[in-house]
Amino acid sequence: MTDNIEIDIANLGKTYRGKKHTIVQALKGLNIAIRKGEVFGFLGPNGAGKSTTIKILTGQIKGSEGSATIQGVPVEDPTSRKKLGYLPENPSFYDFLTAREYLRLVGNAYGMSPNAISCSTGEVLAKLELEHAADRPIRGYSKGMVQRLGLAQAMLADPELLILDEPMSGLDPLGRALVKDLIKELKQAGKTIFFSTHITADVEIVCDRVGILVGGELKALDRVESILDQGIDGYRLSFAAAEERTIEQLVAVDELKATLEHILAQGGRIERIEPLRRDLERYFLDVVKGTNHEHS
């Protein structure tokens, strides 16, 4: 293990034993090393094993095989969670409390001083645009407000590492944009963020790397930039045949060379070659359907 690894997941497996002796292999031989300061998107369809991984990392359940460490400390050891902020998949709170009262409870659990709790509460409520509702019981909050309070409590103790299970879930477009900006801000402050989602657009904008989990197995692991660079599906070619107006044509990757040679041989003029990039959504669908075999 090197010093700049924040989360190290090695050969992690999880088997659930269900009713009537059914067995669900939710995770199989998972290997991921998350670097300090990295924003990592853990992408996968429903039932892929994302929450299972996160529950193991946060000590709520035990893996069946392999190991996981946070800052070198095994996740079975509660001290591994000292500098961790966590947002569960469906956060729920004592809804008779107000947000401010709830955050005081969380701050106490982190061992923060009353002064630090009060300062940080003001900051996180402002960042998540919940100031106006800070002194209202949580029971009156909308779903999006509850989700934002979940993020506020994860950030309260200014943790070095944030593990967020579907942070954009239940948020409207404004809420999603707010959370994406927040993740970018946390990254700039040097935090490490590991978050799960099944929405590729969330990953494309804020993540450095993405891991795609399907049926408990990691099917792809790469930098978002590299995925977007590799993914050229074809070209939009603009050319003018001798003395004629510009024509646009879609050309497959393996036909580009021959098409260009043909146009030039006929005395045509190439005006523009625009690569048609495969976005992360397309890449994700290809991986999930098993048509993409680029692993790294």
Q: What is the total count of residues that contact ligand ATP (CB under 6 A)?
A: 14
DSSP secondary structure string for all residues of 261-292: HHHHHTT-EEEEEEEEE--HHHHHHHHHTT--
Contact segment (CB under 6 A) with ligand ATP among 40-48, 106-114, 117-125, 260-268 equals 40-48
Question: Beta-carbon neighbour count of residue 142 at 10 Å?
Answer: 12
Closer CB to ligand ATP, 240 or 285, in the complex: 285
- 170 lies in the binding site for ligand ATP (CB under 6 A): no
CA distance 42 to 58: 15
The interface mask with ligand ATP, positions 198-237, x = CB under 6 A, is x---------------------------------------
Shortest Cβ 169–ligand ATP spacing (Å): 9
Q: Which residues neighbour 2 within 8 Å (Cβ) at sequence distance 6 or greater?
A: none
| Burial status of residue 97 (CB atoms within 10 A of its CB: 0-12, 13-18, 19 or more) | middle
Positions 87 through 116 that interact with ligand ATP (CB under 6 A)? 89
- 18 lies in the binding site for ligand ATP (CB under 6 A): yes
Q: Are 42 and 213 in contact (CB under 8 A)?
A: yes
Count CA atoms within 13 Å of residue 13 on its CB side: 9
Q: At 68, which amino acid appears?
A: A
The interface mask with ligand ATP, positions 182-201, x = CB under 6 A, is ----------------x---
Contact segment (CB under 6 A) with ligand ATP among 1-9, 44-52, 68-76, 227-235 equals 44-52
Closer CB to ligand ATP, 48 or 103, in the complex: 48
**Which residues form the interface with ligand ATP (CB under 6 A)?**
16, 18, 24, 26, 44, 46-52, 89, 198
